[in-house]
Amino acid sequence: MIQMWDDSFAVQSPPIRAALDAGNGIRAFELMHSELDKVWREVERVLGDGCIACVNIGDATRTICGRFRLYSNHSRIIQAFVRLGFDVLPAVVWKKTTNAPNKFMGSGMLPAGAYVTLEHEYILVFRKGGKRSFRSEDEKRLRNSSAFFWEERNHWFSDMWDLKGVRQKLINPGLRDRSAAFPFEIPYRLINMYSVYGDTVLDPFVGTGTTIAAAAAAGRSSIGVEIDSALLRVIADIVGQAVQVGNERITSRLRDHLSFVADYQKSKGDLKHVNDYYGFPVMTKQEREIVFHALDTIERSPDPSSFCTRYSGLDIGMGEGSCEPSRLHSGDATGIQRRPAKGGNVIGSSRPEGKGVYPAGLEKLNASGWTEG
């Protein structure tokens, strides 16, 4: 029920336009969500058992026929997923930093007619079926190598994220209004939090391609669906930046961890565990097999809607110079034909003989420090 998407929804369902023109906001709201329900059904169809669906959505406020009210998008989406049998997991509130000089709605400084300004969106989290299991040695190895640092766990799994929104430099200003762009950090965190190497990430609303880029940076394959073909060029530009952005994010994670280690050792003493690949201290045994996949190149496949990401070195689940595909589909989500295997589309692998891969420009020194190469 966000006004900038009225036209897109009206194309999908003409009765939505009729309801808006008649001033029936409640009916328009329900008709819009009926269109989204079709996508959620496809999400349920293709997700493996125990896998996670994350939905970034904000509620909407608008005036229709002189009456101002809130349209609770997040609660309606929760209802839809519950009807499909998903378990609702704790959500994240994304507090969006704003530089607006004033944020008043309604009667300004006069009581009774002023309204609270919405400065947050929700990241809803749902699980299909019971807790995901990792039974085979390959599945366990992929999960262990996909772990995150202890201090990241404490930060990422907070229910409040304070991240600045983004304003994409799109060729067509109208595309910017429809893209609903969000920061790279949001899908990057969620992909690392809820998937493992070898999984395939699905984005049914690709927009500018941020999730596709984040999946490549996180070492995952991805499939995206976008009904607006005008965004394909923008998606290619965004995905093309994933090598630089992804390696910078890996570098910052490593540096942040080394900074955490130094601070911890200074105040509390040595950590008890050491990472097998990089040789630096870690807080828990679960972090010993963490390994990062440094990106080498992202290449456009002969199919203009496909990209291939190549990673440097010999990594778990990805042989040297191996390629992880990302694919875009035009049309609605009912056009998706691929169905991940139960538990996620996990690929087999063997333990690498070499050490973990560092982004270009960094060399390992010892367990307590790094130097730039």
Q: pLDDT tens digits for 294-330? A: 999 998 888 778 889 998 753 433 334 445 666 665 5
317: left (phi over 0), alpha (psi -120 to 50) or beta: left
Contact between 3 and 60 (Cβ < 8 Å): yes
The amino acid at 127: R
Which pLDDT tens digit goes with each residue over 102-120?
667 788 889 988 889 889 9
Q: Is the pTM higher than 0.85?
A: no
Q: What is the dihedral of CA 176, 180, 185, 188, to 10 degrees?
A: -110
Per the prediction, the chain carries an average pLDDT of 82
Instruction: Compute the radius of gyration of the chain from its Cα atoms.
Output: 22
Task: Looking at 317-373, list the stretches that DSSP marks H as alpha helix, in order from N- to C-terminal side.
Answer: none
Over range 217-223, report the average pLDDT: 95
pLDDT tier, 42 (very low <50, low <70, confident <90, very high otherwise): very high
**Looking at residue 326, what is its pLDDT?**
67
* Residue from 159, 151, 146 nearest 193 by CA: 146
Quick one: how many helices (H) and strands (E) in the chain?
Answer: 11, 17
Least confident stretch, 1-5, 268-272, 317-321: 317-321
pLDDT tier, 339 (very low <50, low <70, confident <90, very high otherwise): very low
Burial of 34 (0-12, 13-18, 19+ CB in 10 A): middle
Per-residue pLDDT at 331 exceeds 50: no
Tokens (6 digits) for 211: 């999730």
The string over 208-231, giving b where at least 16 C-beta atoms fall within 10 Å of a residue's C-beta and e elsewhere, is: bbbbbbbbbbbbbbbbbbbbeeeb
pLDDT tier, 182 (very low <50, low <70, confident <90, very high otherwise): confident
